[in-house]
Amino acid sequence: MLSVTVTRTLHSQRFGQDSAIFVAPGRVNLIGEHTDYAEGFVMPAAIDFATLAAICPDDTSVAIYSANFDDQITYPLDSLPGKASHHWSDYPLGVVSVLREAGVEIPGFSLTLNGDVPLGAGLSSSASVEVASMVAILSLTSATFTPPEVAKLCQRAENHFVGASTGIMDQFIACCGAEDHALLLDCRSLEYRLAPIPPHLSIVIANSMVKHSHAGGEYNIRRSEVEEGTKLLRSHRPEIKMLRDATVDDLKRWGHEMRPEVLKRCRHIITENERTVAAADALQAGDLKTLGQLMYAAHASYRDDFEASCPEADILVDLAAKETGCIGARLTGGGFGGCTVNLVENAQAEAFSSHLREGYREATGIAADIYLCHASAGAHQI
């Protein structure tokens, strides 16, 4: 568990001043993968893994210390780097850069970042660093942004500074998450509704320990395949601005004009949007059977059509499906490794976790980390 006291002490020992402390959570996505940048639907929950940001003002420089990397960067306020350097500091520096672009006058500051969101595990460590940094830095300015605006600015930092073409989901849930709730987000209008997670269910997250990275690589390739398919459909039906506007019927009519893999990517997104809205309805109605079926169907689509799973994640999902008390399981996040999310009856959660750990080790030789998480609140000051 992250310690506020430890973070405060780390900060004051290093920078010699008291700090204000902010927290921003990681997230787990229950369903709706790679739909956000197609302006579709997602249903994540914020989790109790998070980044803490301790901040105090400074006259002339920007100093940022990462407790996780035990590393500090320091720049004069008037010569901050204008581009990424594939370093952990890209995330907070990207935040400063987009705030300046948005016309916010940034004073000097010292910032300590301390997080426990597993890195590269599909639980949005990057968004939690961005959002924690942004709310902390904003507290030293007179600017006022709503939580969805903060999310959009942080997404901008990730897209334009860090260089990962990610959607809005991670930053949005890090800003707007609510305790004990999942959040169904319409990534076009940014309207959302909260769906309570029944108290008899646990969110069990299983880390395959296969790492991924979004800056470059497969994520961006998938995104460009999706854009290629959207363009083709738009050439036939101009109302299709984004894949969110397309239907399975559109694919039946024009899919043969696409490269086969592009057709599959589009089919995943179009059907995933339908599944995500249906899953939110099922969760709200307490229809856990339907919710579970939708999660398994989403995993199959992610694996077969989007081809963003990996053998290890498939093994975790197959093992989970055999366990009593498991409502549904799927690979969560950007794909190509990372974690599965499992909804499990509380009474079975411990047994489920140890069976999963044993079965996974037997099948792969890998020791999975298994976390029991709770849906948590979005970013706030502590």
Tell me how far apart the alpha carbons of residues 142 and 159 are, in angstroms, rounded to a whole number. 25
Q: Which of 36, 170, 245, 250 is labelled catalytic?
A: 170
Residue of the chain from 167, 255, 338, 359 that contacts ligand GLA (CB under 6 A)? 167
Which lies closer to ligand GLA via its Cβ, residue 333 or residue 337?
Answer: 333
Question: Residues 115-134 vs ligand GLA: string with x where CB under 6 A?
Answer: ---------x----------
State the binding string over 307-336 for ligand GLA (x if CB under 6 A, else -).
Answer: --------------------------xx--
* Among candidate residues 118, 117, 99, the one with its CA nearest the CA of residue 109: 99
Q: Quick check: is 170 catalytic?
A: yes
Shortest spacing between CB 42 and ligand GLA, in angstroms: 6
List the one residue from 140, 169, 233, 270 that touches ligand GLA (CB under 6 A): 169
Supply the angle between the helices 169-176 and 125-138 in degrees, to the nearest 10: 50
Binding span for ligand GLA by CB under 6 A among 164-172, 200-208, 236-244, 280-288:
164-172
Q: Would you count residue 33 as binding ligand GLA (CB under 6 A)?
A: yes
Residue 170 binds ligand GLA, judged by CB under 6 A:
yes
The Cα–Cα gap between 285 and 349 comes to 23
State how far the alpha carbon of 309 is from the alpha carbons of 192, 210, 305, 312, in Å. Answer: 27, 11, 10, 8
Q: Strands, DSSP E only, in the chain? A: 20-31, 41-58, 61-66, 71-76, 108-115, 181-186, 192-196, 201-207, 326-331, 339-345, 369-373, 380-381
Nearest of 220, 218, 217, 274 to residue 243 by alpha carbon: 274
CB 195 within 8 A of CB 43: yes
Pick the closer one to ligand GLA by CB: 166 or 340: 166
Closer residue to ligand GLA in complex, CB, 33/245: 33
Give catalytic residue positions.
170
Contacting residues toward ligand GLA, per CB under 6 A = 29, 33-34, 36-37, 124, 166-167, 169-170, 333-334
